Amino acid sequence: MSSPSDFLPFTQPTLDEETIQGVVAVLRSGWITTGPNVAELERALSAYVGNRPVRVLTSATAALEIALQACGIGAGDEVITPAMSFVATANVIVRVGARPVFVDIDPDTRNIDLDAAEATIGPRTRAILPVHFAGLPVDMDRLYAIAGKHGLRVIEDAAHAIGSAWRGRRIGSFGDLVCFSFHPNKNMTTIEGGAIVADSQAELTTVERQRFHGLIKSAADQFDVTLAGGKSNLTDVAARVGLGQMARLDEFNATRRRLVARYFERWHAGAPVHLPARGDDGHSWHIFAPLLPLGHMRMTRLEFIGAMERRRIGVGVHYPAIHLYSAYRALGYRDGQFPNAERVGRETVTLPLFPGMQVADVDRVVDAVESILEPEVA
């Protein structure tokens, strides 16, 4: 008989006692909103990405929206982005008044099809907003060659990619504007939070003003507001969690790679699922999301998820195709436009992967998947 304690979620943050006590110290300090811990986290993140300027915010969603604003993107502009990602990737484009122009993805890497992206560039295109899906970097050489050729900005949705690298260079250490997520299911967390790596001092100033009301304080009694900014400043409580996570980020990512290696070892031949592209050591493996062989199965994906839950194993879905949501159908998108994104959206499942897992947990997941699927596809 299974007990609640043996449930294996598909993800779970790892918070050590030192971090917990650090949060207690912040709470006792009386300074719990933006303060010295935020400044320290920004310095640590900056050092991690080659001393580029970094500002932290309440979410990667806020970071992406502010990045678009820093680029001056708004009404009448178009931004090219993949048709399969978390919906925030597209929502922020709509929120600044621009139009998301979707392109299909590669079915193995799940990253944007850059040939399709270049073919989609038109007179209103201002930027490309790619996603480093699951932590696997987009082809950065090709991406920036296209952007340079056509005079476009690049805003990297690196929500999955803290600690990922392209040809030995960390994501965020080069390129244009780069946005990270520190949601609890990411490779490091600040409970909720994100960060933006800026490309210039002018854009850094815009980021700072957009995250706190557009306010400028030149003296104790001298204020001005230069733009109608929002409020997305991170708290010191959240930042202290982030500092504890930063100290272990490389360890966390090494564990993720080791666990994924076990998935591939178990499924090196004849896997009952379609495995994602493996990449190299630059892949930080935010999630492990194979595709179900639904065309050869009698059960549905929902029934598969239920069968896994009965075996005390959690399963996620990352992600449905964005263009098929009602809000994007209203913009004229329809079924059949982006077949790879639609296939992934139908067939994807996210299997357990987080630093607190053991290799034996991977074996448990593999055994469960095989026990469910082998009778289905026999």
In sequence order, the 6+-apart residues with CB closer than 8 A to the CB of 17 are none
Among 63, 198, 62, 71, smallest CA distance to 125 is for: 71
CA–CA dist 231, 94 (Å, integer): 19
Among 117, 139, 115, 119, which Cα is nearest to 128's? 117
11 exposure class (CB count in 10 Å sphere: 0-12, 13-18, 19+): buried
Question: What is the C-alpha to C-alpha distance for residues 149 and 58, in angstroms, rounded to an integer?
Answer: 34
Please report how the helices 249-266 and 359-377 are oriented relative to each other, as an axis angle in degrees rounded to 10: 40
Cis preceding linkage at 48, omega within 30: no
Annotated active-site positions, please? Answer: 186
Cα separation, 259 vs 188, whole angstroms: 17
Neighbours of 20 (CB within 10 A): 12
Q: What letters, b where the CB count within 10 A reaches 16 and e where it falls short, cover 202-230?
A: ebbebbbbbbbebeeeeeeeeeeeeeebb
Strands 99-103, 78-82: pairing is parallel
Distance between CA atoms of 55 and 57, rounded to whole angstroms? 7
Kind of pairing between the strands at 165-166 and 169-170:
antiparallel
Torsion region of 142: left, alpha or beta (phi above 0 gives left; psi -120 to 50 gives alpha): alpha
Structure tokens at 244: 């504890």
